[in-house]
Amino acid sequence: MAWFGNSELSSLKLAHEALQQREVRLMQELEAAKRAVVDQQNAASGKDRECETLKGVVRSLSSFSATLAGSQGSLGNMAS
């Protein structure tokens, strides 16, 4: 077993405390990064829902356009 002098032991304790403080800071940074990832995922999910809604609107407009074109054709035939 190694024996340390008081100054060496004090130095090791200070280094240990500094490392513990660093660990706490890094854990806080990690939690902040995790929250940021969740926020980004939520934002992306919202944008995906909005995109699906808009695609549905475009499909509805396309269907309406086709129906309208058919109706105009029928009206043209009836008018002639």
Determine the pLDDT at residue 1.
Answer: 45
Determine the pLDDT at residue 3.
Answer: 66
- CA-CA-CA-CA torsion sign (34, 40, 45, 48): negative
Pick out the chain residues at pLDDT < 70: 1-4
Angstrom distance (rounded) from CA 23 to CA 18: 9
Question: Is the pTM above the cut of 0.85?
Answer: no
* Cα 9 to the center of its chain, rounded Å: 47
H helices of the chain, in order, are 6-79
Residue 16 Cα distances to 19, 24, 49, angstroms: 5, 12, 49
